[in-house]
Copies of this chain bind each other. A is one copy, B any other.
Amino acid sequence: MQNYKSPVRDTLFVMNELLGFEKHYEKLGFEDASPEMVEAIAAEAAKFTENVLAPINAVGDEIGCKWDDGVVTTPPGFKEAYKTYCEGGWPSMTHPVVYGGQALPYSLSSSIAEWMSGANHSWAMYPGLSQGCIATIKSHGSKEQKDMFLPPLIEGRWTGTMCLTESHCGSDLGMLKTKAVPNDDGTYSLTGTKIFISAGDHDFSDNIVHIVLARLPDAPEGTRGISLFVVPKFNVNAQSEVLDRNQVTCGSIEHKMGIKASATCVINFDGAKGYLIGPPNRGLNCMFTFMNTARIGTGLEGLAGTEAAFQGALAYAKDRLQFRSPTGIVNPDGPADPIIVHPDVRRMLLTQKAFAEGNRALAIYCMQMVDLTLYSENEEEKQVAEAKLALLTPIVKAFLTETAQEATSYGMQVYGGHGYIAEWGMEQLARDTRICTMYEGTTGIQAIDLLGRKILGSNGELLNVFIKEVQDYCRSVRDKSQFNAWSNSIESHIDEWGQMTQEIAKRSASNPDEVGAASVDYLMYSGYIIVGYLWLKMAVVAQQKLDEGTTEIAFYEAKLKTAGFYFARLLSRTRSHASAIETGAENLMSMPVDYFMIE
């Protein structure tokens, strides 16, 4: 099995060379995040992911989590890896110094999160969930709640979860039934059953802090009657000491296709003691604050799968000998040539590489926008970043996870039959990555969010903000004749994108189904253009470095070649999406439901 390597060089390329993170951090006042410091942290993170997380990835899949009478045991090595993680100070990176944090920027921690997922998707989910829980309490908790919960969570001594889904409602949270009844002491008693709770129970930490969506008595129906609660597994006092067991139990864990070392729990609340967080009935709004980062996080898991599958397929393609090159023997001393000589193997590898690097650029671009929304003191800059983030979040979530299905599938395909065998690790990657298009809002949900809520909902405003950036950039490289064809292609796509959007807006005014009918193709179409725009930018930067006489010739030449592949072979996928969008809703909606069934 190929050892996972954290893509340090490529991440730093995107941060420093493509997106100017040195200045970005300086401007936001992160003196501690100097390029040297970023590089040092990255090196440590790479060591941790490669030496601690990657080696326990296969055993995690093989043994999985065990549930016994309400107690969940994680696979061998998982608990120890979490201890190492905490000792390294990783949980506290981005949090306030006052609660024990290191006050480093979100983007730095988030870039590294990709590598943790790439080395071990299941393991990385536990700390990932904690971050969501911390963010919720940090933003919406009272002073007492923060004092009580944040220090142990930020230290990593406690972990957290997000409890949203119930068996009858996943996407449509308006139907949720868990009840919260006020107690005399200001706390609440929560009763209900939540499902699909990642990290819902395990053996990593002294306590588990659940963020729970529930209804107050007499709350209005639907999404406007949902409130947010903090419910710890063990009750705690104001000094963050763990007391007696709360009425929270893990009823079972799911048997899943993948991420088998991530405990996906049914959590039963039987009159469990909880604390209201944020205003009553505004729980969903509070939750939505973190939708962007949670969805970028899922996009990163997809990206991580793409990168790991690329690495695995590349290693095999260079090693496996089978047939001779169509253009002449390249390995005369061996019985056959390595399969990387075959054009179709290269097509798969380049697809993986182009997605890994292009999608990474998009993800880190989004992280930069998140930084601005969190830390910028310039109101206009903040608003522009918020607008871009609103547009890009559903794309980064869905495009990075959908393309990851293709990339991890190629990971297996390059291996031929061996790709199907567990010991090579490629089939685990495909299984683990498969969840990413489903949880944290399916691709369909992201697509409706993008086209319906964001683009049509803003009358195209959000699209225009981003389009302006791309158009300005394309104009700025017009004099670089080498990039004319690519830049023109992006510009004409941008025109088509705008026209297509207007066309859908017009149609949807008379038929609301037109939005859903176009949505997923529209999202994928948008993703290909945006990643194309970033590939153009990366190519321009790479050429500049080569012109300046860099010694890393292979790295920058590879960027140019991969950009060339992207523009030749991947961007043209917009043709099929555009064509499908054009056809409208009728071909989907005109068939009566009864006609679907074969018998």
Chain A residues with a Cβ under 8 A of chain B: 5, 7-10, 165, 168-172, 175, 196, 254-258, 311, 314, 318, 321-323, 326-327, 335-336, 338, 340, 342-347, 349-350, 353, 405, 409, 412-413, 416-423, 427, 430-431, 434-435, 437-439, 442-444, 447-448, 511-513, 515-517, 519-520, 554, 557-558, 561-562, 564-565, 568-569, 572-576, 579-580, 583, 585, 587-599
Contact of A318 among B435, B573, B593 (CB under 8 A): B593
Selected A-B contacts with CB under 8 Å, 12 pairs = A9-B598, A257-B420, A314-B596, A344-B447, A345-B444, A350-B591, A417-B438, A554-B595, A558-B591, A565-B591, A568-B580, A575-B576
Q: A412-B438, A422-B255 are in contact. Are A554 and B594 (CB under 8 A)?
A: yes
Binding site of A, secondary structure by majority: helix, strand, loop or mixed?
Answer: helix
Chain B min CB distance to A553 (Å): 9
Contact of A599 among B8, B430, B438, B519 (CB under 8 A): B8
Nearest to A46 among chain B residues (CB) is: B599
Contact B412 A434 (CB under 8 A): yes
Contact B311 A517 (CB under 8 A): no
Nearest to A307 among chain B residues (CB) is: B598
Contact B587 A580 (CB under 8 A): no
Q: How far is the CA of A431 from the CA of B412 in the complex (A)?
A: 12
Chain B min CB distance to A68 (Å): 19
Q: How far is the CA of A340 from the CA of B573 in the complex (A)?
A: 27
Chain B min CB distance to A598 (Å): 5
Nearest to A317 among chain B residues (CB) is: B596
Contact A326 B593 (CB under 8 A): no
Q: How far is the CA of A595 from the CA of B255 in the complex (A)?
A: 41
Contact B5 A599 (CB under 8 A): yes
Q: Which residues does chain B contribute within 8 Å of A438, judged by CB atoms?
A: 412-413, 416-417, 419-420
Q: Which residues does chain B contribute within 8 Å of A431, judged by CB atoms?
A: 257, 431
What 3 pairs between A and B have smallest CB-CB spacing? A343-B516, A257-B427, A572-B579
